[in-house]
Amino acid sequence: MASDVEKWKDELYGTEIRAEIERFAEAGWEAIPDDEHDAWFERFKWYGLYHQRAGQESYFMMRIGPPGGVLEPGQFRQLVEIADDFSRGPAENPEFGNGWIDVTTRQAIQLHWIRLEDVPEIFDRLEAVGLSTVQACGDSWRNIVGCPVAGKDKHEHVDADTLATELHDTFKRNETYSNLPRKWKVSVTGCDEGCGQGDINDLAFEPAEKEIDGESVTGYNVRVGGGLSRNEPRLARDIDVFVTQEQAIEVAGGISGLFRDHGDRENRYNARMKFLVDEWGPEAIRETLQADYVDFELETAGEDLRDSYSYNAGEADGKHDHVGVHEQDDGNYYVGLNVLVGRIGVDDAYELADAAATYGSGEVRLTQRQNIVFTDVPAENLDDLRGEAVLDDYSPDPHPFQRGSIACTGTEFCSLSIVETKNRQVRFGRWLTDNVSLPEGVENFHIHLSGCTASCAQPQIADVSLRGMKTRKNGEPVEALDIGLGGGLGAEPQFASWVAERIPADEVPGAIANLIENFTEVRDGNESFREFVAARDADELADLIEPEETDYDDPYLHNTKRTWYPYADEDDLEASPAPARADGTPISSDD
Amino acid sequence: MSIALRTLDDGAWISVNNSRQVSVSDVWTLSRGVFCDCKPAYVLLEAFLDVRVDGPTVVAEAVGQCLECGVRETITYLPVGRIVDGTFEPVDPETVQSVLEPAGKH
């Protein structure tokens, strides 16, 4: 039986939603009929609007997805101004204040506390600079991710930026592909470092060469069915197809059409491409693609560059994360700045926008490690850029524990999350920086904190993977984390092994400190952490994690999901000021 | 009076009449033997798979994990509330639940 979501999508979906959003915005939040809330909030996702969690009714998260994370000159500043004007909540966050932008692991920007009544003006302002929220959420083509320095990079093999943009232009607002069984995540990698993270996407284009009619042709190999969610991580599978840049569009349409027609619309838990590939196998996917969805003879896979992939490959001295100062192909430089857990307060964001325009081209790019990159900085501007005060906090040379931190949204706003994440990860990073030394030669250490098994912080591809859980401590339920080790991508991608479960959150920094101390003592020469983990079984690794309380203080051990906002002075759900009218006045249930 | 019941947002919550009523991430107390051998079992609900009514009782199918022994299982019949005079009255997760099967199947 088709789910309610499928019924709602059949009734109205895609670009038709825009007029309905504007109608409700004009009439106000209360104009949405009570018995249609679920249907409309599901549809609004297609336009990048996600209703915030219980206790925050009438407020929305808004996502803006620029293809490949490229924000052209002026676009970043426009986003900051929108955040300044519209992304303010009824209470402050103790780490970040009130008003910020979030950089996501899919190279998008998220704003919170957005009121429906403000959405039309925000849409106008976004469109004025060429940005959009279209298909940022919902069951369709999501933001195309890829090499964040595509078109500028010395490591580039093919221009991923061109293909990412063509895919974006072809498949956004495209009625044929606007209603898929579930989300559809696409990655384009163009470099020899593998920074597009194709292995964890539904569809991945990876750089390759193929000899065709005696000529060496540059293009992409195709993989399908990767993803991390629901305790069912999969690496994208090779379907033995090579495409040129021109063929990539038709093949992308074909594979997403195959998913549209054959994905499971009865059961949303089974509706991702990874499960269809599990069921059919890569060979049957290829055969069906050839038979029913493309009009030319598919080439077999070409020679790929995967052996050279270094991005998130776990090398002890490797960085490969775009942070720092790097020469571009044209002799200018790109400067990657660390953004701790991806969140930038609006005051800092204005300063960063100024710096990008003053010292570079004004272009700002977003990375899959929640960081930002300024491009096109001439050599003579580098020292002045480095001297900007805002770079003290958004550093091109951050401490490894700051550099390696990623966190998802967490219970601050998300319905799925089990634990608080961003503020906790900030506190973890601060404590680890102050108290723990990495062994000599280890310059990179990735710690990813995800609030639940949806895995938005991509925990399975980190050195230390943290996943939200609960446990009981002193007779009371407290927020806890599962700990996994040894994940990463590169030439030999590997998901983390979960070796310790349900560790009270206040004992996790102590556990990481003890783990690193044990690693330092017994590692073999210059062994990387990932090699160290790979050489040991789960029991050995579990023994190296010794959770303990330290002077780290965790203010979020209680059930943060049972609050309307975890940091409010009066945080009970009953104290929530939501839902609220456009001016912020609460709407009581008696109204 | 018909009741609109559904799970939404990847099973993050149960909606009753278009209102978010039951959320994942709470710890539910289940009596011995119905989920695992722990007495009682403190079970974190990670996702709701389905929801339906059985008479006046609102029943969920959910995935949960015991916080003591770590068993992760699907619970096919977890009463999460009752419909009384057309209004949903939630079950307190901390009260001990001993019935995980429909009446008549014991």
d(CA A255, CA A216): 25
Decide: A510 and A547 in contact? Cβ < 8 Å. Answer: yes
Residue A37 to residue B65, Cβ atoms within 8 A = no
d(CA A140, CA A131): 18
d(CA A493, CA B6): 38
pLDDT of residue A396: 97
Contact residues, B window 72-101, toward A, CB-based 8 Å cutoff: none
Domain ranges of chain B: 5-90
Residue B25 to residue A34, Cβ atoms within 8 A = no
Out of B10, B18, B27, the one facing A38 most closely (by C-beta) is B18
Classify each residue of A429-459 as buried b or exposed e, where b means 16 or more C-beta atoms within 10 Å of its C-beta. Answer: bbbbeeebebbeebebbbbbbbbbbbbbbbb
Averaged pLDDT for residues A302-315: 92
Contacts of B15 (CB under 8 A, 6+ apart): A38, B4, B5, B6, B7, B8, B21
Decide: A352 and A394 in contact? Cβ < 8 Å. Answer: yes
- The secondary structure of A224-242, three-state, reads ECCECCCCCCECCEEEEEE
Closest residue in B to A454 (Cα–Cα): B10
pLDDT of residue A320: 78
- Residue A532: count other Cβ atoms within 10 Å of its Cβ: 23
pLDDT of residue B104: 46
* A91 near B CB under 8 A: no
Q: Name the E strands within A292-340.
A: 303-304, 324-327, 333-337
Averaged pLDDT for residues A534-547: 95
Residue B105 predicted with pLDDT over 80: no
* Local structure of A289: helix, strand or coil: helix
Q: Which residues of A touch B16 (CB under 8 A)?
A: none
Closest residue in B to A471 (Cα–Cα): B67
Decide: A227 and A233 in contact? Cβ < 8 Å. Answer: yes
Residue A344 predicted with pLDDT over 60: yes
- Residue A74: count other Cβ atoms within 10 Å of its Cβ: 17
Residue B46 to residue A415, Cβ atoms within 8 A = no
Residue B102 predicted with pLDDT over 60: no
Residue A319 predicted with pLDDT over 90: no
Strands A405-407 and A447-450: parallel
d(CA A206, CA A147): 11
> Pick from A504, A149, A205, A185: which is nearest to A361 by CA?
A149
Out of A4, A419, A501, the one facing B70 most closely (by C-beta) is A501
Contacts of A399 (CB under 8 A, 6+ apart): A433
Closest residue in A to B24 (Cα–Cα): A416
Q: Which of B25, B49, B61 to mutate to test the interface with A (most CBs of A within 10 A)?
A: B25
* Local structure of A19: helix, strand or coil: helix
d(CA A58, CA A464): 36
Out of B4, B12, B67, the one facing A471 most closely (by C-beta) is B67
Residue B1 predicted with pLDDT over 80: no
d(CA A308, CA A541): 29
d(CA A379, CA A207): 30
What pLDDT band is residue B106 in, cutting at 50, 70 and 90?
Answer: very low
Contacts of A218 (CB under 8 A, 6+ apart): A157, A158, A207, A208, A209, A244
pLDDT of residue A534: 95
Token pair, residue B35, equals 């989920």
Lowest average pLDDT, out of A54-63, A380-389, A419-428, B80-89, goes to: B80-89
Out of A35, A416, A419, the one facing B10 most closely (by C-beta) is A416
The neighbouring-strand residues paired with A187 are: A145, A204
pLDDT of residue B103: 53
Residue B18 to residue A35, Cβ atoms within 8 A = yes
Residue B25 to residue A38, Cβ atoms within 8 A = no
Residue A35 to residue B4, Cβ atoms within 8 A = yes
pLDDT above 70: percentage of residues in chain B: 91
Distance of CA B77 to the CA centre of its chain: 7
Residue B26 to residue A453, Cβ atoms within 8 A = no
**Which domains are present in chain A?**
4-128 (3.90.480.20), 150-308 (3.30.413.10), 324-397 (3.30.70.3340), 403-558 (3.30.413.10)
pLDDT: is A230 or A535 the higher one? A535
Averaged pLDDT for residues A443-470: 95
Q: Which residues of A touch B42 (CB under 8 A)?
A: 472, 477
Give per-residue pLDDT as tens, B45-91. 999 999 999 999 999 999 999 999 999 999 989 999 999 988 999 99
What pLDDT band is residue A155 in, cutting at 50, 70 and 90?
Answer: confident
Residue A62 predicted with pLDDT over 50: yes
Helix residue ranges per DSSP H, A268-405: 273-280, 282-288, 346-359, 382-386, 400-403
* A232 near B CB under 8 A: no
What pLDDT band is residue B99 in, cutting at 50, 70 and 90?
Answer: low
Q: Which residues of B touch A502 (CB under 8 A)?
A: 67, 70
pLDDT of residue A2: 77
Q: Å from B43 to nearest chain A CA?
A: 9
Residue B101 predicted with pLDDT over 80: no
Contacts of A279 (CB under 8 A, 6+ apart): none
pLDDT of residue A590: 57
| Order of all β-strands in the sheet with A364-366 | A70-71, A364-366, A372-377, A333-337, A324-327
What pLDDT band is residue A572 in, cutting at 50, 70 and 90?
Answer: very high
Residue B27 to residue A42, Cβ atoms within 8 A = no
Token pair, residue A144, equals 């195309």
Element at A447 (helix H, strand E): strand A447-450
Averaged pLDDT for residues A423-434: 98
Residue A328 predicted with pLDDT over 70: yes
Average pLDDT, rounded, for chain A: 95
> Pick from A447, A448, A446, A452: which is nearest to A468 by CA?
A452
pLDDT: is A208 or A589 the higher one? A208
Residue A477 to residue B67, Cβ atoms within 8 A = yes
Output DSSP code: residue A144: P
Contacts of A323 (CB under 8 A, 6+ apart): A336, A337, A338, A369, A371, A396, A397, A398, A403
d(CA B31, CA B36): 9
* B52 near A CB under 8 A: no
d(CA A514, CA A517): 5
Query: Count of residues for chain B?
Result: 106
Averaged pLDDT for residues A522-529: 92
- Cα-based distances in Å from B12 to A40, A54, A115, A373, B23: 17, 11, 22, 34, 6
pLDDT: is A269 or A77 the higher one? A77
